Chain A
Amino acid sequence: MGTERNTANSTPAAADVIEQVGSIKETGTIPSQIHNDDEIHQLELERVFSDTWVLVGHESEIPEPGDYAKRYIGDSPFIFVRDDSGDVQVLFDSCQHRGTTVVRAEQGNTSYFRCPYHNWTYDTTGELVGVPHKEEFFKELDTCEYALDSAPQVDSYRGLVFACLSADAPTLEEYLGDFTWYLDLHLQFADGGMEVVGEPIRWEIDTNWKIGADNFTGDSYHTLATHKSAMDLDIFPPELSAAGAERTPADITECSGHSCMLAYLENQEYAGGYPEDVFTDAHLSDDQLRLAKRLVSSVGTVFPNMSFLQMNLNPDPENREVTAFLNVRKWQPVGPKKTQVWNWILVPQGASEEFKQRAYDTGIGTFSVAGNFEVDDFAVWDGIAEAAGSTFGKKMGRESNFQMGVGDMSDSEEISDEFPGPGEVYDTNFEDGTMQTFYQSWYRAMTGQDIDSEESQ
């Protein structure tokens, strides 16, 4: 594989900064500048968000023909729609006449999209089906040539719909690669899979999109500091947290360019976040099911900007029980120092209504704009971008450190041979290999390589 993609048009200074990221496996550091820089941001839109697979939504958000939602890939607007024959489409939201966006609402149900400017009308597959006064003024116009553009590649995995703006890039199956083993732990353990509850919660934070994405590859280190108050109050019961002696950790690095962390209760058959009866052996291997039942905490990032989190949490430890939920995230780049967060809560489709509501309330109560676990992250992430974009920070070549637990920094060991899942696996959650994988993929995407290409720098 490895289609050569256009990587021209960067200044020598930006190219140099990007090159330094390519050495992260040797240095364990990256230039902080990539977390707040106009040129890097623009290059990311042209490279990362044009050549990789980006999350659009979940099929359960648009169950009926005509259901649609407005979505974005990088800064480009798209329509996520189920067409009249039941297929999912991802259409560029730009009228073929003069180009304005045709979708005005955030989501809804419709049998056609009518452009507000001159009323060209498209059906739910994007075909142009109406041109006002065509017989008088547009006699020669061949409407077949004016369908809304589809994203060049659209595919789904276990209900999650992704699109890629390059026709030459690898397929979604190739792109997710071995990492599906871990996605399945969170998406395939129950009959009927997972479904989205409510509409994604959206809000904007004053930091770079990569900060959220790298944190969600598994920054267990920050949990002890940033989230100490949540552990003190048993919102995240300390025995389940990174401080807990009970839990068995695993960091998954170098897994087809993606990475995640897992923690599970090795000695308990069932960790208790989901109702036991939703688990099924129908879609997972024995090893996967064994792990899925024991999970207490996991986070991961599908490069570039989709993250997931599943945790056993409790927003009211005195009166409620610990509950699991699946949080799916999109870190939409709005500017070098502005990210729109998209936050979905998913629950097992076959669980009881009572459980689904409890899981949803646990999810938004802990991991969302008002999440009493997560509000503290947003309070510290702004500062990273602020210093990274500062004149002195750039002048002195300020670096961010991702050396924790790697190499001789700790006694952690690689357990890839014993561990049932793929990737380079370590027996700790306190190592930065998961983040190194993220930035290595970023380097590759910024230099026109596939994210899992063997050739490094």
Chain B
Amino acid sequence: MSDRFELRLECEEFLYREAELLDDGRLHDWLELLTDDVEYRVPRRVTRERGSEESEFSDDGFHYREDIGTLTTRVKRFDREYAWAENPPSRTRRFVSNVRVEETSDDEVRVKSNLLLYRNQGDTTESDMLVGERHDTLRRVDGSFKLAQREVQLDQTILETRNLSFFL
């Protein structure tokens, strides 16, 4: 097996494990997978004309722009009985695929993957679907990966969900 193949397997294993924690609602364990200086961003996507000089992904408009402190506050809030957005909890399933190792340095790997997130909640057949591409930086800390950066580039400009009370 080539090193490159092994590295991709290692990244996939991390991402699958991470998705499992999020789907299972083990959010405190998920926080353990983040570095202390984690940058977590979901930019606003904008419908632009083909050929526009401006990126579809906004530089200054965001759905999420978080660090470890704000993410931790969110997780603590979900523990509360009165956090109605997640009571009853969402049923989510994250499908992470098309994992591509983009760049490596001594202790960091930049990896892209596709995310398909299904969410159903409450007494209804209706569901939300959030789809996008993750741009992650994984960092080796004490021999295992942690998430140091994530930008999720969504395939929607007007979000098809009543609220983002979960992580992408």
Residues of chain A touching chain B, judged by Cβ–Cβ distance below 8 Å, are 104-108, 197-206, 225-226, 228-230, 232-233, 235, 315-320, 340, 360-361, 364-365, 368-370, 372, 374-376, 378-380, 382
Chain A nearest CB from B59 CB (Å) reads 8
Chain B nearest CB from A101 CB (Å) reads 13
Residues of A within 8 A of B157 (CB): 106, 202
Return the contact of A378 from the options B58, B69, B73, B162 (Cβ within 8 A): B162
Q: Contacts A198-B58, A374-B163, A379-B163 given; 9 further ones with Cβ under 8 A?
A: A199-B46, A204-B158, A229-B83, A360-B65, A364-B62, A364-B63, A365-B70, A369-B161, A370-B64
The yes or no answer to B74 lying at the interface (CB within 8 A) is: yes
Chain B nearest CB from A394 CB (Å) reads 20
Residues of A within 8 A of B158 (CB): 202-204, 340
Chain A nearest CB from B37 CB (Å) reads 13
Interface pair A201/B84, CB less than 8 Å apart: no
Also in contact, A235 and B73, with CB within 8 A (given A108-B49, A199-B58, A379-B84): yes
Between A and B, 13 residue pairs with Cβ closer than 8 Å are A104-B47, A200-B61, A201-B61, A201-B63, A202-B159, A206-B162, A228-B80, A318-B69, A365-B70, A370-B163, A374-B163, A375-B163, A379-B84
The yes or no answer to B5 lying at the interface (CB within 8 A) is: no
Interface pair A315/B49, CB less than 8 Å apart: no
Interface pair A317/B73, CB less than 8 Å apart: yes
The yes or no answer to B155 lying at the interface (CB within 8 A) is: no
Distance A361 CA – B165 CA, assembled complex (angstroms): 16
Residues of B within 8 A of A235 (CB): 73, 77
Distance A202 CA – B158 CA, assembled complex (angstroms): 5
Residues of A within 8 A of B60 (CB): 197-198, 360
Interface pair B77/A229, CB less than 8 Å apart: yes
Also in contact, A204 and B47, with CB within 8 A (given A375-B165, A376-B84): no
Residues of B within 8 A of A369 (CB): 63, 159, 161, 163-164
Q: Restricting to B123-152, which residues have a CB under 8 Å from any CB of A?
A: 126
Interface pair A364/B65, CB less than 8 Å apart: yes
Number of chain B residues close to chain A: CB under 8 A: 41
The yes or no answer to B76 lying at the interface (CB within 8 A) is: yes
Chain B nearest CB from A132 CB (Å) reads 20
Residues of B within 8 A of A319 (CB): 69
Distance A202 CA – B85 CA, assembled complex (angstroms): 18
Distance A235 CA – B78 CA, assembled complex (angstroms): 13
Return the contact of A108 from the options B54, B64, B76, B82 (Cβ within 8 A): B54
Distance A382 CA – B85 CA, assembled complex (angstroms): 12
Which B-chain residue is minimally distant from A206 (CB atoms)?
Answer: B162
Residues of B within 8 A of A204 (CB): 158-160, 162
Distance A141 CA – B106 CA, assembled complex (angstroms): 70
Distance A201 CA – B67 CA, assembled complex (angstroms): 20
Distance A107 CA – B48 CA, assembled complex (angstroms): 7
Residues of B within 8 A of A229 (CB): 77, 80-83
Distance A365 CA – B48 CA, assembled complex (angstroms): 25
Chain A nearest CB from B100 CB (Å) reads 27
Distance A60 CA – B77 CA, assembled complex (angstroms): 35
Distance A119 CA – B158 CA, assembled complex (angstroms): 28
Which A-chain residue is minimally distant from B87 (CB atoms)?
Answer: A379
Interface pair B70/A198, CB less than 8 Å apart: no
Also in contact, A105 and B159, with CB within 8 A (given A316-B69, A372-B74): no
Residues of B within 8 A of A107 (CB): 46, 48
Interface pair B73/A315, CB less than 8 Å apart: yes
The yes or no answer to B44 lying at the interface (CB within 8 A) is: yes
Also in contact, A105 and B52, with CB within 8 A (given A229-B77, A320-B69): yes
Interface pair B44/A199, CB less than 8 Å apart: yes
Return the contact of B77 from the options A200, A203, A233, A379 (Cβ within 8 A): A233
Which B-chain residue is minimally distant from A380 (CB atoms)?
Answer: B84
Distance A229 CA – B83 CA, assembled complex (angstroms): 6
Also in contact, A198 and B69, with CB within 8 A (given A232-B80, A340-B158): no
Interface string of B36-51 (1 = CB under 8 A from A): 0000001010111100
Also in contact, A203 and B46, with CB within 8 A (given A232-B82, A372-B77): no
Residues of B within 8 A of A203 (CB): 158-162
Interface pair A372/B84, CB less than 8 Å apart: no
Residues of A within 8 A of B46 (CB): 105-107, 199
Distance A226 CA – B87 CA, assembled complex (angstroms): 12
Return the contact of B82 from the options A202, A228, A364, A372 (Cβ within 8 A): A228
Residues of A within 8 A of B72 (CB): 316
Distance A374 CA – B82 CA, assembled complex (angstroms): 13
The yes or no answer to B24 lying at the interface (CB within 8 A) is: no
The yes or no answer to B66 lying at the interface (CB within 8 A) is: yes
Chain B nearest CB from A178 CB (Å) reads 34
Distance A379 CA – B67 CA, assembled complex (angstroms): 25
Interface pair A316/B70, CB less than 8 Å apart: yes
Distance A86 CA – B165 CA, assembled complex (angstroms): 41
Return the contact of A315 from the options B61, B70, B159 (Cβ within 8 A): B70
Distance A269 CA – B63 CA, assembled complex (angstroms): 34
Also in contact, A201 and B44, with CB within 8 A (given A108-B54, A368-B63, A376-B83): yes
Distance A206 CA – B124 CA, assembled complex (angstroms): 12
Which B-chain residue is minimally distant from A361 (CB atoms)?
Answer: B65
Which A-chain residue is minimally distant from B48 (CB atoms)?
Answer: A105
Minimum-distance CB pairs A-B, first 6: A198-B61, A316-B69, A375-B85, A370-B164, A229-B80, A203-B159
Residues of A within 8 A of B49 (CB): 104-105, 108
Distance A232 CA – B72 CA, assembled complex (angstroms): 14
Interface pair A370/B84, CB less than 8 Å apart: no
Chain A nearest CB from B102 CB (Å) reads 26
Residues of A within 8 A of B54 (CB): 108
